[in-house]
Structure 1
Amino acid sequence: MNMARVIALLFLLTSATGCGMYKGSSEVEGSAGVPSSSATSFSSDEAFFNARVKPNIPFCRTCHVPGGVADVDKGRLFMLSGNPAEDYAKFKSSWTALGKGVETNRILTKPSGQDPEPHSGGSPWLPTSQQYKDVKILLTCWNSPAECAALLANVGGGVIQETFPLLGNPGKHFFVNTLCDGKPDSTPINWRANDPRFLLTQDAGLIDSEEYAVHFNDPFEECRTEALFANQKRQNELRVAKGQKAIYGAKDYAKTCGEFRERVRKGGDWVSMTPTDTKPDGSHASGNFNNRNNSWKDWGLSERPDNFDEQWVERFGGALAPDPVFNKKGELIAGVYNPYPMPGEEEFLGKPYTVPNDGKFHVPGPGTFIKNFGGTGRLQLGTAQAKNVDGSFNGGSGGTCFGCHAGRIGQGEVTGRDGLGNQTKDRFGKNPYGGFMGLPNTNMDTAGSADLGPIAVGALGATRGTFNADIPVEIMVGIRDFDSLDAHKVLVIPNHSSFGDQRPPSWWWLHNKTRYLWFGGHSTDSSRGNMYFGSINGLSGDELKENEGVYFEDVHDWTLSTEAPDYPQGYCSGADGSAKPGDKTGCIDRKLAESGAILFHEKNLWAGDGNSDIPRPKGNGSCASCHGAYSPRYANDKRFLPDPRLVGMTGYTVPLEIINTDSAQTEGWIAPFRTHISTFWWAYPDAVEGYVAPEEKNLLQEIVDDYALTDGLTGENIADYINRNLNNMGLLQPVGNLVSTILSGVLGPVPSIPLGQIAGRKKGACSFEEKTIGYHTPPLHGVWANSPYFHNGSVPTIWEVLKPSDRRPIWRRQRTTTDVAFNGFEWRLDRGYDFKDIGWKAEALNCGDTPPGVPMILCAIDTDLRPELTWLTDLVQGELSWLTYTGTIVPGGDSGREDRMIFNTNKYAKKNRGHEWTKVLTDEERRAVIEYLKTL
């Protein structure tokens, strides 16, 4: 890869059409382009150059040097060197090579967006900017020497300071962590003044604004309103008056660093070591570990292996919990104690116990004194042992959030954090097992539970590492009353297409975006929306609501405080930023990453005609327009953001017509359904004025008003739902278009019947995204660790994200080679990670590579399915109804486990299409962008 070529393209491609549809100022706070107002005189054009132009030259030097991105034929007409002492001479010789002149010279037309050829570096010097004005003065001096003395005699402004750096990622840090690190517990926290998400509320003025290069269309909604606390106070009073327990305890934002740290501690402990169906009093009494303790007999083994728990993780996915550390009193002081009883240990549960030194395999080790003994078996993150009211272990079992939200990466070299900083780093990769809380578990085999009980169905995930998470949520929500949460009504779920499988979003993104779920979902202020799986259980409605104040909000604060891990290979150590012998494989080439930063933020991908077939998103047409601005240079550039606190923030739900990634999940949440579920308890209807509480209704009212499904059931929405199933039909598309036209004409005028309004249902303060059917753009902090990519995990590397033509239709992640009964996906970086293309290593497969062929789909070797057949199979597998996909039988046993390791993008909800506008990048530019993404 020739870095020089990537940077000349930047000069060539950094011009004309970089402005896009936004209208922005080019001022940069506290940096170049904003000189002081006092007048200054200069003795020569070179003195003026050194004071007023040269401070901006490092930006140009990022690309316009030999070996840089702009080292291509036309780009070489403007060429600098690596020696700043040569800047004046090189700048002037480039001006000459480009034909001299002033405002017609490409030194000005390219970076100002006035050149007919696109410029990869965008438009950093708009005609209104100080940079443009200063270069214009310089070029006038060169072009008309007689005018120069007068021009330089009384130039406004003084010496310009250096600009902010191109590299750096301050936005990944949660503002409370930054505020509280090293500060006393009494330090106050002002959320509404300092949390950047509050700059993105509907009333703040940025939503749907076209003033800036970075676009936001999906607002942050505040759930913890004054109305919430007033309504819950009233509800508690009504309950107490009836002789019932007060259960409502929603919390406002933590007021001090000490309060926040305590919430983070409680939330992190609960989410890692407590089943989600634990009652408010801490008790849980379901399940046991008999099946687990005997499962080795089904693995073809003659006896239970010493490394049984490690083999369990290989087989089913997940990660072992970090090693627990106990003090002399037998109390846990570090790590995670996530035990289960081995055969014969049940009688010691919940009691003080010293692990015997009997030579047998024990975890924790022999001689360890434990005050509350839970057994010497070691559970993976995702399962936890139940406890009694007093906190003692009782041998019951249950699932935790980490079945999906804790992954495995590396062997201790990858490190993140939560709000407790170094105290809990072992929970975020800094352990020999690579367990990382908040990292998506892309190795989970949820359907593998078929080995331990009933036959698994499609709701459990047809591919290892993905999970049809929305269906069990919807079914349980459909059984429960929308307001009281009691399970006393007949299940009624409107028909819609299946959501299909997804991979979880990273929890460390939560504080960097406005909406939680892939399709928009709830606001990231919603602890209820974050804890849906805490509601999928047998607890009563009262117990679930009480858990909000007891557990949910502490867990939510913990998730907000988690931060992405740094790229573990670090920067290369060469003087020119490149790799030297001894550097880690895949270290970051600083110069190339700087080129990538410019391309990422500035290059308008719609500048030419290469993307004329794709509707253009709002913003400046760059990666940053959807994914946000990360570089300190651009975060402080008024063209990109109005406030640098928005660095690294996203709030853009991109319409499906633009993003065009697999549509199953977002289209499954049909518009009429979104309107209705925006009134249920999880959407915070009690956080708005006028809310009618369950305590104020009789049972019949409480049941009947849940069936007011018609508010969003307009003819237009029904036609939209049907028409979305009439796309990608291949040769049948003309028929689909005709049917779509007829349906739109017939159904379009049909109004909705506002039964919900009549019944008094209130739209919640933190409702579902309703205006856009699409996908919420994720932030890119820690993107290197988020493989595989897209919401359905269909693309294994960033290279393939950026180069759609290289995407593999059928692939399988690299597996481990350890001596175990079944090998799962490789998690060790030195063996399984691709540091060049960024992502987990994977092999391409053909349909005939594994007998009896790739599972559950018909396809020919080396031949893609015809679009007509793909459309038809999708229609049958899930587009007609969520029931057809949920009812799909997933094979059990090792044969089924092998099948689920293969990702077949021909299948329903597994498509790897979309996000194809990066097809206009050159390979050199892709390498530069990838190098930059490593820094985030």
Structure 2
Amino acid sequence: MRFFWFILGLAALAACQRYSTLPGTATDNDWKVKPLPASPQQMDGDPEAGYAFIGGGSYIGSGVPFEMMKKRLSGTTDTVLRRGGVNANLPYPVSAFEAAKGGTLVMNGNCFTCHAGEVNGQIVPGLGNSFSDYQKSFKPMGKVIRVGVDFKYKKDEPEWEAYEDFSRYFNAMAPYIQTNQPGANPAFRLAEACMRHRDPVDLTYREAPNYDMMDYTIATDVPPLWHVKKKNALYYNGIGRGDFTKLLFQASVLGIPDSTAAREAINGFKDVLAWLQTLEPPAYPGPVDQALAAEGQVVFEKNCSKCHGTYGNEETYPNKLVSLALVKTDPMYANYAKNSGIVEWYNSSWFAQSEPKSYFAPELGYVAPPLDGIWATAPYLHNGSVPTVAALLDSKNRPDIWARSGDSRDYDHEKLGWAYTELDKAKGDWAFDTNRPGYSNEGHEFGDKLSVGERTAVIEYLKTL
């Protein structure tokens, strides 16, 4: 049952030549750090409407006929988002809505599939879901759902029409999102796989792909949504520029029929953007040594604030992109995004060619993120390869292969992150292997120069953010 909801929740997720090998590791930028410029944003939305829309809106466009699933929903209650209406009896990562085509009620995933995470036993809307698992193939499930719809509905019935777009894009993306790490999220690959079958002008379905894709699935950790209000660009490599409403609603590419439906979704995401302006991280739930935290603030502001900003009454965030040559973290994701065929497609498409415009500007680097709520956002680095802040600040003590229990209450308050066990080889449901391509735990060695006492103080300070 849980796997079924997870499959439906895929809708919440994000090369000029076909790769026969993995992408290169180019780091030869002529820059080390560069600021990311701000773009005008639509800031006239309604936060309450945005919260309702992101949890129950029709922005995915199509899905599985709701009538098919009624019996499976018996006894279900949404205790996380506390929605009303038909969604009151659906799990929080799933929404029922009227399909763009067919005019009938369908069910699909929503943004909270990936953007409601669990920590300390609590599910937090806006926190990245680090407990998702995309290691199983989704192709069999797609076939099962298709067989069920074909058996129950004829092709001239509205339920089949409402399901058709979702079916096309689900089948298109399923081969490209299977990962080899637990918790890693293939949102970029999902968007890439769906957009390769969309006409760039009107976003209608194309049978022939627009570009090729690498066979290997590269995935990332999921950043918290409360950081959006501070950012001038989205995604770990800062590729997402321009209007955020279009960048935020890209999960829609899994099921919307065309650009007409996309324009309707944009209106809803103006409200979502307004809700994100109000979103705050959860407070650290344990005691804090305030004297030690004050010492840590001094160390942090001297050594870390230039890239990660300052916090308190007068907050600052510099929006800096740090080159691969300087940060030295795993380069595959940045290299892959820079060479993907989705970049040229996106910049020639409805997204970039109609108002309000968004565009892709890939760089060989990663954004130094804000650190609000950092205690809740383990694991760390863009690929989720480091389980705790203590290991992030001391690169020599990062585990090569580590496993967590899968219980969000299994938290290390001293090291600030997931309690973990070091392993000789990856085994078990939640084992993370940093030796696999794209998931190295190297780089970000800036904390190595600090003393043990300074790192301890910084960790205590970070609990207050």
| TM-score (ref. length: structure 2) | 0.77
> By how many angstroms is 1:673 displaced?
5.0
Q: 1:387 to 1:673 in 2, by over 3 A?
A: closer
Does the 8 A contact of 1:796 with 1:839 survive in 2?
yes
What is the aligned partner in structure 2 of residue 841 from structure 1?
419
Match of 1:557 in 2: 274
Cα drift, residue 477 of structure 1: 1.4
Structure 1 residues 682 and 500: CA distance shift in structure 2, 3 A: farther
Question: Which residue is 1:504 aligned to?
Answer: 222
2:51 alignment partner, one of 268, 281, 284: 268
Q: Aligned runs of 1:517-536 on 2, under 5 Å? A: 517-523=235-241, 525-536=243-254
Q: 1:845 to 1:385 in 2, by over 3 A?
A: same
Alpha-carbon spacing, 1:440–1:921, altered in 2? closer, same or farther (3 Å): same
Query: Can you list the C-alpha shifts for 1:498-546, whole angstroms capped at 9, x where unaligned?
Result: 5611121110000112111111022374111111111221522322223
* Residue 286 of structure 1: aligned partner: 65
Contiguous gaps of at least 5 residues in structure 1: 1-208, 225-251, 255-259, 295-305, 310-319, 325-334, 338-371, 412-433, 570-586, 603-621, 636-646, 689-764, 815-824, 848-853, 856-897
Question: Does 1:590 find its partner at 2:369?
Answer: no
Task: Please give the alpha-carbon distance, in whole angstroms, between the structure 2 residues aligned to 1:685 and 1:374.
Answer: 35
Equivalent of residue 38 in structure 2, options 220, 225, 230 = 220
Number of residues of Structure 1 aligned to a counterpart in Structure 2: 404
Post-superposition shift, 1:912?
1.0
Alpha-carbon contact 2:58-2:99 (below 8 Å) kept:
no
The answer as to 2:43 corresponding to 1:253 is yes
How far is the alpha carbon of 1:681 from its aligned partner?
Answer: 4.1
Report if the CA contact (8 A) 1:276-1:401 is conserved.
no
Q: Which residue identity does 2:382 align to in structure 1?
A: H
Q: 1:827 is paired with a residue of what secondary structure?
A: coil
Say if 2:160 is the partner of 1:381: no
- Any unmatched runs of 5+ in structure 2? 1-30, 145-173
SS at match of 2:177: helix
Distance 2:136 2:214 in 1: 27
- Shift in Å, 1:595: 1.2
The answer as to whether partners of 2:80 and 2:92 remain within 8 angstroms in 1 is no
Distance in 2, matches of 1:488 and 1:672, equals 19
Work out whether residues 36 and 320 of structure 2, in 8 Å CA contact, stay in contact via their aligned partners in 1: yes
Choose which of 780, 788, 798 in structure 1 pairs with 2:389: 798
Q: How does 1:774-793 map to 2 (within 5 A)?
A: 774-793=365-384
Tell me if the contact between 1:499 and 1:667 (Cα under 8 Å) persists in the aligned partners: no
Give the Cα–Cα distance (whole angstroms) in 2 for the partners of residues 385 and 768 of structure 1: 31
Which of 284, 294, 307 is 1:567 aligned to? 284
- 1:742-782 superposed Cα distances (whole Å, 9 cap, x missing partner): xxxxxxxxxxxxxxxxxxxxxxx543234x31111110000
Tell me whether 1:322 sits opposite 2:69 in the alignment.
Answer: no
Q: How do 1:836-915 residues align onto structure 2 when only pairs under 5 Å count? A: 836-847=414-425, 854=426, 898-899=428-429, 901-915=430-444
Report the equivalent of 2:337. Answer: 669
Task: Name the SS for the 2:403 alignment partner.
Answer: strand
Aligned to 2:113: 403
C-alpha change, 1:453 and 1:525, in structure 2 (3 Å) is closer
Q: After TM superposition, give the deviation of residue 680 of structure 1 in Å.
A: 3.5
- Tell me which amino acid in the other structure corresponds to 2:306: S
TM superposition shift of 1:903: 0.7
- 8 Å Cα contact 2:50/2:275 also seen in 1: yes
C-alpha contact (below 8 Å) 1:285/1:388 kept by paired residues: no
Cα deviations by residue, 1:103-128 (Å, 9 ceiling, x for unpaired): xxxxxxxxxxxxxxxxxxxxxxxxxx
Instruction: Tell me whether 1:923 sits opposite 2:452 in the alignment.
Output: yes
By how many angstroms is 1:483 displaced? 2.5
Residues 499 and 666 of structure 1 are in contact (CA less than 8 Å); yes or no, is this contact kept in structure 2?
Answer: no
Q: After superposition, where does 1:421-820 map in structure 2 within 5 Å?
A: 434-447=122-135, 450=138, 452-454=141-143, 457=175, 459-488=177-206, 490-494=208-212, 500-523=218-241, 525-549=243-267, 551-569=268-286, 587-602=287-302, 622-632=303-313, 647-670=315-338, 676-677=344-345, 679-681=347-349, 683-687=351-355, 766-770=358-362, 772-814=363-405
- Structure 1 residue aligned with 2:19: none
- What is the letter of the counterpart of residue 131 of structure 2? N
Aligned letter for 2:83? V
Secondary structure in 2 aligned to 1:384? strand
Q: Is the 8 A contact 2:324 2:365 kept in 1?
A: yes
Q: 1:652 to 1:512 in 2, by over 3 A?
A: same
Asked if structure 2 preserves the Cα contact closer than 8 Å seen for 1:275 and 1:400, the reply is no
> Residue by residue, what CA displacement relative to the aligned partner does 1:41-89 show, whole Å, maximum 9, x if unpaired?
xxxxxxxxxxxxxxxxxxxxxxxxxxxxxxxxxxxxxxxxxxxxxxxxx
**Using CA pairs below 8 Å that are at least 6 residues apart, which structure has the higher relative contact order?**
2
Q: 1:174-213 counterparts in 2 under 5 A?
A: none
8 Å CA contact retained: 1:497, 1:664: no
Output the CA distance in 2 between the equivalents of 1:525 and 1:588.
Answer: 39
**Cα contact 1:447–1:457 (8 A) shared by 2:** no
Q: Residue 926 of structure 1: CA displacement?
A: 0.5
How far the C-alpha of 1:452 sits from its partner, in A, is 4.6
Q: Distance in 1 between matches of 2:207 and 2:350?
A: 17
- Structure 2: which amino acid aligns with 1:599? V
Contact persistence 2:203–2:350 (CA under 8 A) = no
Alignment RMSD: 3.3
State the secondary structure of the residue aligned to 1:293.
Answer: helix
Q: CA deviation at 1:802?
A: 0.3
SS in 1 for 2:333: helix
Letter in 1 for 2:252: G
C-alpha change, 1:470 and 1:674, in structure 2 (3 Å) is: closer
Report SS of the residue matched to 2:108. strand
Q: TM-score, length-normalised on structure 1?
A: 0.40
Measure, in 2, the Cα distance between the counterparts of 1:648 and 1:838.
23
Pick closer, same or farther for the CA change 1:373–1:553 going to 2, 3 Å: closer
Which SS does the other structure have where 1:911 is aligned?
Answer: coil
For 2:396 and 2:350, locate their aligned partners in 1 and report how far apart those are by CA, in whole Å. Answer: 41
State how far apart, in whole Å, the 1-side matches of 2:130 and 2:457 are.
Answer: 27
Describe the shift of the 1:497–1:917 C-alpha distance in structure 2 as closer, same or farther (beyond 3 A): farther
Q: Structure 1 residues 593 and 470 mapped into 2: Cα distance closer, same or farther (>3 Å)?
A: same
Provide the secondary structure at the position in 2 that maps to 1:436.
Answer: strand
Cα distance in 2 for partners of 1:393, 1:834 equals: 47
Q: Call closer, same or farther: CA 1:833–1:393 in 2, change over 3 Å.
A: farther
**8 Å CA contact 2:307, 2:320 repeated in 1:** yes
Q: Deviations over 1:110-148 (max 9, x none)?
A: xxxxxxxxxxxxxxxxxxxxxxxxxxxxxxxxxxxxxxx
Identity of aligned residues (%): 25
Q: Deviations over 1:863-906 (max 9, x none)?
A: xxxxxxxxxxxxxxxxxxxxxxxxxxxxxxxxxxx44x211111
Q: 1:490 to 1:836 in 2, by over 3 A?
A: same
Q: CA offset at residue 275 of structure 1?
A: 5.5
Conserved in 2, the CA contact under 8 Å of 1:508 and 1:563? Answer: yes
Q: Is the 8 A contact 2:57 2:95 kept in 1?
A: yes
Name the CA shift for 1:524/1:809 in 2 (closer, same or farther; >3 Å): farther
Post-superposition offset of 1:783: 0.5
Structure with max Cα Rg: 1
Distance 1:291 1:521, change over 3 A: farther
